[in-house]
Amino acid sequence: MALGKYSRVDGRKSTNYISSITFVVFVALCLLGVWIMTSSSSSSIVPLKNVLDSETEVKQSTQVSETNVVVDTPTQSNVNTDNQSKQFEDNPGDLPEDATKGDITTTESPVDSDGKKSDESKATNEAQSQTPEEKKEVFPSGAQSELSNETVTQDASWATQAAESNKETTGSLESDTKTGYSWKICNVTAGPDYIPCLDNLQAIRSLRSTKHYEHRERHCPEDPPTCLVSLPEGYQRSIEWPTSREKIWYHNVPHTKLAEIKGHQNWVKVDGEYLTFPGGGTQFKHGALHYIDFIQQIVPDIAWGKRSRVILDVGCGVASFGGFLFDRDVLTMSFAPKDEHEAQVQFALERGIPALSAVMGTKRLPFPGRVFDIVHCARCRVPWHIEGGKLLLELNRMLRPGGFFVWSATPVYQKLAEDVEIWEAMKKLTKALCWELMSISKDRVNKVGVAIYQKPSSNECYETRSEMEPPLCKEFDDPNAAWNVPLQACIHKVPVGASERGSQWPEQWPARAEKPPYWLSSSQVGVYGKAAPEDFTADYEHWKRVVTKSYISGMGINWSTVRNVMDMRAVYGGFAAALRDMNVWVMNVVNIDAPDTLPIIFERGLFGIYHDWCQSFSTYPRTYDLLHADHIFSKIKQKCNFEAFVAEVDRILRPEGHLLVRDKAESISELENMFKSMHWEVRMTYTRDSEGLLCVKKSMWRPNEVVTIPYAIA
């Protein structure tokens, strides 16, 4: 009998009689039964490299308790108990002396059908061979090295977006912690494409006017949904980048209207079980790369990927322009409304290209002032010239001094009466804005014209205009205020002080990603309480260490399947900067009641958006492969409907996508129960000293019960 062959007391071969062997087996089985009854959280399937690089600075030099690792292999019924014991007893030096005092449970990773371990299991094998010193370096005990405890962050030297925009947001509070959850499918007219703040049909029906695209703006319900969005029939795991730029699964975004309308312009075509994207657009039927290179050819100062790094693409279509700018090391924020161009933004995101559902209507876009290096509009159907140029003035607010506006539209090169009228109006308006026309050229391959303007870097022109229309904005009008702020037909002056943001162009990419912006002063207090430049550097070093030594190799995540990433509580963008050499892009979200650090994120050649997590995000369901949530859940629970927030996380994360949570231990415990109730796979959970780390993987599961959302029914 295998279990009686060796004694596990001292490793020597047994010479006792059969009765002694039987007694030992009986005792061992009893002990095993007691252990099973007393162990906790044994159902979690997680990598062995389960140690937290948590969020408080190390206060002690002595060794702290790590983990008590317990192995259970539910997928293999005939496990050799002898070998399992050796895993712990034969190599005691692999664990600290007090490792048995922890609270983590692990199991072996699942085995693929061909007998090979999955990608997630590789992290397990690597972790087992680590020395205690390596583990301490990857996961410092109990603290975010060089940074103060994030749960008690400072007010810092930056106002919040809520304060800047003069908009205080309140939400419903959770009275207590629920222990049972019953999820239902949202019965809504939008079905699998439901975006709560854009599909509030009750609010849209009550609008007094839709002249300025009010019906395409955000109208968030007071009672956010706590149901789950359904999956399209036949949905499957998204195709990996870069193949996804050329084709996606038809059943993942089963819409053909755009192919019928724009197929001749090489936007999108239907090809069997795929939707294919030839790389064209209305203004570049013969491919985006030629068009991109043509723009730089006529204005070499654009210098894609060096001087010009962060771009805003207005009315992006399926975002092929932004998709091919990746080849030039350029990051493009593309946006378009959820309108009759069915699912254009959803196509872009499914392809792995950054995009947002938004419209230039009555309010400012949720970005700071003076942050985009270039703004691009290719036949974007925006009436720039009307109502005092209010919409073009919004672009002027967001465009960096010295930045370019690239306009490719019929008024630039056609001579129809309407086009001529618009061109004359734009000539007058751009002159009043002091924009210099750098070039107007004809692309003979695509047979379109392109006009490129440059925003001034000083106020000299503004102050010497013969007519003061549009007027200069009032002193109290903050160009960074962007959350629910009405559009204003005025010009913000250009910063000229040497220490003011916008008075100098950022360093060329990629140097700008690593260096603190020139306008960060040592007299400013950073988010973590240090001098701002030091804070910035410490944050970046921290996330480089965590990403390199923990997230990439220690979470069991197959990063080849990760393309669209969101940092739900970005501070300085350190997490995104640490990922910049990987084949991913990161949407950095700065909550409106957090210190306004979004300009810093843009300054380092990254991008992001202001948002209120008490409301839904302006994206389609199933658009992100990985969500990173650093101390956001515990903050949201203090002010919002917590269950609705978790449902929103489920909505925007793709099936088989991952969520990484760093938060308070009580939040980790509650979230683990909630995600288990949604049939998510708990890859890893760990808590120590009131802080915790959770890695979960969303499944394809959807509940059977349905609940109707009255305000989302046509």
pLDDT digits (tens, 9 = 90+) for 618-653: 999 999 999 999 999 999 999 999 999 999 999 999
Same structural domain, 424 and 346: yes
Which pLDDT does position 16 carry in this prediction? 41
State the helix-helix crossing angle for 642-652 and 665-677, rounded to 10 degrees.
Answer: 60
Which H or E run contains 545? helix 532-546
The band of 260, judged by pLDDT with boundaries at 50, 70 and 90, is confident
Tell me which of 186-190, 257-261, 644-648, 657-661 is least confident.
257-261
Of residues 695, 631, 679, the one with CA closest to residue 47: 695
Can you say how many angstroms the Cα of residue 598 is from the centroid of all Cα atoms in its chain? 14
Same structural domain, 330 and 398: yes
Token pair recorded at residue 150: 């994030």
The set of residues, in sequence order, having a beta carbon less than 8 Å from that of 304 and lying 6+ positions away, is 292, 296, 325, 328, 329, 330
Residue type, position 156, single letter: A
Same structural domain, 644 and 539: yes
Which H or E run contains 660? strand 653-664
pLDDT tens-digit map of 116-169: 344 444 444 443 344 443 443 333 333 343 333 444 455 567 788 888 886 333
Same structural domain, 556 and 694: yes
Token pair recorded at residue 134: 């390596």
Of residues 680, 660, 580, 654, the one with CA closest to residue 244: 654
- Distance between CA 617 and CA 614 in Å, rounded? 9
Identify the domain boundary among 446, 463, 480.
Answer: 463
pLDDT at 8 over 80: no
Q: Which domain, by its residues, includes 399?
A: 286-463
Which pLDDT does position 343 carry in this prediction? 86
Is 12 inside any structural domain? yes
What value does the mean pLDDT take over residues 297-323? 95
Partnered with residue 308 across adjacent β-strands are: 304
Q: Which residue has the tokens 């680590």?
A: 130
Which pLDDT does position 183 carry in this prediction? 98
Token pair recorded at residue 694: 């959770």
Q: Which residue has the tokens 């049972």?
A: 180
- Distance between CA 201 and CA 189 in Å, rounded? 9
Tell me which of 171-180, 268-277, 655-664 is least confident.
171-180
Identify the domain boundary among 408, 437, 463.
Answer: 463
Token pair recorded at residue 554: 């220690």
What value does the mean pLDDT take over residues 500-522? 97
Same structural domain, 212 and 357: no
Same structural domain, 458 and 558: no
Look up the CATH number of the domain holding residue 406: 3.40.50.150
pLDDT tens-digit map of 355-383: 999 999 999 999 999 999 999 999 888 99
Same structural domain, 450 and 575: no
Can you say how many angstroms the Cα of residue 265 is from the centroid of all Cα atoms in its chain? 31
Residue type, position 24, single letter: V
The set of residues, in sequence order, having a beta carbon less than 8 Å from that of 632 and lying 6+ positions away, is 568, 569, 591, 613, 663
Buried-state track 127-141, b at ≥16 Cβ within 10 A, e below 16:
beebeeeebbebbbb
Task: Transcribe 460-520 into DSSP letters.
Answer: HHHHT-SS--SPBPPTT--TT--SSPBP-S-BPPPP-STTSTTSSPPPPTTGGGTSPPTT-
DSSP secondary structure letter of residue 262:
H
3-state secondary structure of 221: coil
Same structural domain, 551 and 674: yes
3-state secondary structure of 682: strand
Of residues 32, 30, 29, 24, the one with CA closest to residue 8: 24
Is 543 inside any structural domain? yes
Partnered with residue 515 across adjacent β-strands are: none
The set of residues, in sequence order, having a beta carbon less than 8 Å from that of 433 and lying 6+ positions away, is 389, 392, 393, 396, 455, 470, 491
3-state secondary structure of 454: strand
pTM of the prediction?
A: 0.81
Asked if 432 and 461 count as a contact pair (C-beta separation under 8 A), the reply is no
Token pair recorded at residue 274: 């795929």
Is 512 inside any structural domain? no
Which pLDDT does position 166 carry in this prediction? 65
Task: Transcribe 350-410 into DSSP letters.
Answer: HHT--EEE---SSB--SS-SS-EEEEEEES----TTSGGGHHHHHHHHHEEEEEEEEEESH
Query: Which of 24-28, 260-264, 666-670 has maximum average pLDDT?
Result: 666-670
Report the first-to-last Cα separation within the chain, whole angstroms: 69
pLDDT tens-digit map of 435-483: 999 999 999 988 899 999 999 999 999 999 988 999 999 999 999 999 9
Asked if 314 and 375 count as a contact pair (C-beta separation under 8 A), the reply is yes
Same structural domain, 705 and 618: yes
Token pair recorded at residue 9: 């007391």
Same structural domain, 222 and 298: no
pLDDT tens-digit map of 156-213: 677 888 888 863 333 333 334 455 799 999 999 999 999 999 999 999 999 999 999 9
* Long-range CB pairs of 424-433, under 8 A, 24+ apart, other chains included: 425/385, 426/384, 426/385, 429/384, 429/385, 429/389, 429/392, 430/392, 432/389, 432/465, 432/467, 432/469, 432/470, 433/389, 433/392, 433/393, 433/396, 433/470, 433/491
Residue type, position 331, single letter: L
Which pLDDT does position 705 carry in this prediction? 97
Is 643 inside any structural domain? yes
Token pair recorded at residue 320: 């092929």
Which pLDDT does position 177 carry in this prediction? 47
Is 402 inside any structural domain? yes
The band of 268, judged by pLDDT with boundaries at 50, 70 and 90, is confident
The set of residues, in sequence order, having a beta carbon less than 8 Å from that of 666 and lying 6+ positions away, is 177, 634
- Distance between CA 696 and CA 657 in Å, rounded? 8
Is 140 inside any structural domain? no
DSSP secondary structure letter of residue 589:
E
Same structural domain, 640 and 559: yes
Q: Per the structure, how many domains does the chain have?
A: 3
- Distance between CA 433 and CA 456 in Å, rounded? 9
Residue type, position 132, single letter: P
Asked if 324 and 598 count as a contact pair (C-beta separation under 8 A), the reply is no
Of residues 699, 628, 697, 622, the one with CA closest to residue 349: 622
Is 86 inside any structural domain? no
Same structural domain, 206 and 302: no
- Distance between CA 41 and CA 127 in Å, rounded? 21
Identify the domain boundary among 441, 463, 485.
Answer: 463
- Distance between CA 190 and CA 621 in Å, rounded? 11
Which pLDDT does position 116 carry in this prediction? 38
Asked if 335 and 355 count as a contact pair (C-beta separation under 8 A), the reply is yes
State the average pLDDT for the chain: 81
Is 57 inside any structural domain? no
Which pLDDT does position 554 carry in this prediction? 87
